Amino acid sequence: MIRIAKARPSWCHLPFNQPLGFGLQRSLLIAALVTCSSQALAAGDDREALLKRIVELEAKISRMDSIERRLRELETTAVLSDPETYVSKVEIFVDDDGVEHPTKQPGSHSVVTYQRERVYRRQTINEKIEDALSGDASSRVQVGVDAAITMQYANQQDGDGGDADGEFYQLASMDLYFTAELAKNTIFYADIVGLSGTTPGSEIGGLTDINGYTARLRENDDQLNDLSLREAWLQTQLFDQQLSLTIGRIDLTSFFDGNAVANDETSQFLSDALVNNPMLGLSENGAGMAGVYDPKNGFTVKLGYQQSDSTATNLSDSLFQMAEVGYQFNPFGTGVGNYRAWYRSNNNDNGGSLSGYGLSLDQKVSAGITVFGRYGEAETLAGDDDEFFSGGVQFSDGFGFNPNDVWGLGFANTVLGNDDEETLFEGYYTMSLAERLALSFHLTYIEEEPDGADDFSYLVPGFRLQASY
């Protein structure tokens, strides 16, 4: 702030004693002063013209004052100009005398402390409101909903008198998710699933579920009207977030046997044989723990265990253990590929354990085409191993009617140790109707070859309407 208090000619009516906070105003005043002084010194006989000029300058200065005032008003009403105050974490260095230093000094040690800072950050009212809302939202429990309706029709192709022939099936599924951040890098998650209706699998009687929504949840095949806790766990991330530990009621298939294009019944294939490897041998979710080490360099290592039988009276009698290594790379520059190998072991009723192993891969062969495959074997009490393989292809990124549409073709073959065999083909097309709404059309062919009984097959067309919010 500048105040000018020099003596001046009596005819020079400039507001010398007013505070001058406006840069341009000050410049003009100085210019006026110079003009006044030089002209007063020069002659003095042109006083009338000078006075007129000064009056004009005064009017301009007055107008600038008015503009400055309006600007201030605008700043304080339309935007928030108050100094912003926030607390920041700072690292300081404290010496033996307890004196703080901003940088490392001899004999000092590092201390992390917190400090209030006052800054001149001008924010609009909208920004303020957005900050407040996002801060509020992050401290709340987040809720998500996935709802799906599947409608399927079974038409028997081979064999006679199947219960499912000519029948329609409808299943409504709803997942309610809860997520809360409990601490830094620690979350709680719960998933409650409600199922109502029927699926063809209950009457076809195949080796795998023809509708993956009911996998690892179904308790009886006839009629579903259940509300179940699918998952409820705590997850924390350690060692620079390279190791994540999840403990609680978990679905181990969410952590193991992943696949980029054949691992999600809500957006990809509907048949469970094209969602997970049946050789995993997991019939239901249970209490357990999963650890995932992911240094983000392509390698992943996973270890986990889970209670495999909810009727068991202790964990030791129903212990399902699993390990997996995964590697992501770009072979020959063809595209990104994910390759996984897993091994599992679980207790059995005889007190021994049965093991299995499997592979899962997905490989991009171009920007919008990804091929996938799975293979697995599992020991059985009968003697011969169960065996499974599957494969297929997914098309995306412009291979459909709309840019976000996805479609795929897949097959799966399951052969049990007792020579029962199932072969399944599925094709689907998923249309992305809106960001949170997708409609899929599915056509599945399933052929069952039970040992010692007649073969039969079904063609199962259907659709899936999936909403996520």
Partner 1 sequence: MFSNKRFVRQLQAVFIGLLATVSLNAQEIKIADPASVVVIVNRDSNDISFMDIKSHKIVGKVFLGNNVNPHMAMMSSDGRWVVTGGTRANKAYIIDVATLTLKKEIAVGFAPEHLAFSPDGRYYYQGNPDGDSISVIDMVSMSVIKTIEGLAEPLNITFTPDGSKAYVANYGSHWVGVIDVSRHELLKKIHVGSAPALAALDPERYLGGIKGVSNVSISNDGRYLYAADGDLGIVTVIDSREDKVIKKIQVGADPWRAYMSHDGRYAVTANNGDETISIIDTQVNEVVATLEAGPEMMGINFAADKAFVISSTTGFLYVYDMKSLKAAGRIKIGHVQIETSTTDTADAKLYLASSTDNSVYIIDAKTEKVERVANVGLYPWGTHILDSKDNYCH
Contact predicate 38/53, CB 8 Å: no
- Are 223 and 199 spatial neighbours (Cβ–Cβ below 8 Å)? no
Three-point CA angle 170, 145, 236, nearest 5°: 125
| Residues contacting residue 66 through CB under 8 Å, at least 6 positions apart | none
Instruction: Select from 40, 301, 336, 371 the one that contacts partner 1 (CB under 8 A).
Output: 336
Q: Name which position in 295, 310, 381, 454 contacts partner 1 (CB under 8 A).
A: 295
Report the side by side order of strands in the sheet with 100-101. Answer: 100-101, 84-94, 109-119
Q: Does 187 bind partner 1 (CB under 8 A)?
A: no
CB of 241 to partner 1, least distance (A): 7
Q: Which stretch binds partner 1 (CB under 8 A): 146-154, 216-224, 292-300, 304-312?
A: 292-300
Can residue 89 be called a binding residue for partner 1 (CB under 8 A)?
A: yes
Q: Sign (positive/negative) of CA torsion 41, 47, 50, 56?
A: positive
Selected binder of partner 1 within 437, 443, 459, 465 (CB under 8 A):
437
**Is 400 exposed, middle or buried, given 0-12, 13-18 or 19+ CB atoms closer than 10 A?**
middle
Segment contacting partner 1 by CB under 8 A, of 52-60, 77-85, 314-322, 411-419 = 77-85
157 binds partner 1 (CB under 8 A): no
- The C-alpha atoms of residue 386 and residue 358 are separated, in whole angstroms, by 12
Contact mark string toward partner 1, 397..416, x via CB under 8 A: xx---xxx------------
Q: Which of residues 203-232 bind partner 1 (CB under 8 A)?
A: none
The answer to whether 62 contacts partner 1 (rule: CB under 8 A) is no
- Say whether residue 40 binds partner 1 (CB under 8 A): no
Asked if 35 is part of the footprint of partner 1 (rule: CB under 8 A), the reply reads: no
Of these, 21, 296, 381, 469, which contacts partner 1 (CB under 8 A)?
296
Instruction: Work out which of 133, 367, 381, 382 binds partner 1, going by CB under 8 A.
Output: 367
Instruction: Quickly count: other Cβ atoms within 10 Å of residue 364's Cβ.
Output: 18
Q: Which among 29-37, 59-67, 294-302, 445-453 is the span making contact with partner 1, rule CB under 8 A?
A: 294-302
Out of 46, 56, 73, 91, name the contact with partner 1 by CB under 8 A: 91
Binding mask 115-134 for partner 1 (x = CB under 8 A): --x-xxxx------------
For 300, other C-beta atoms within 10 Å of its C-beta total: 18
Count Cα neighbours of 67 within 13 Å in the Cβ-side half-sphere.
Answer: 10
- Number of residues in contact with partner 1 under rule CB under 8 A: 43
Among 289, 432, 443, 450, binds partner 1 (CB under 8 A): 432
Tell me whether residue 63 or residue 296 sits nearer to partner 1 (CB atom). 296
**63: contact with partner 1 by CB under 8 A:** no
Quick one: 258 or 281, whose CB is closer to partner 1?
A: 258
Q: How far is the CB of 397 from partner 1 (least distance, A)?
A: 4
Using CB under 8 A, list all residues that contact partner 1.
75, 79, 81, 84, 88-91, 102-103, 117, 119-122, 184, 240-241, 295-298, 328-330, 333, 335-336, 364, 366-368, 397-398, 402-404, 431-435, 437
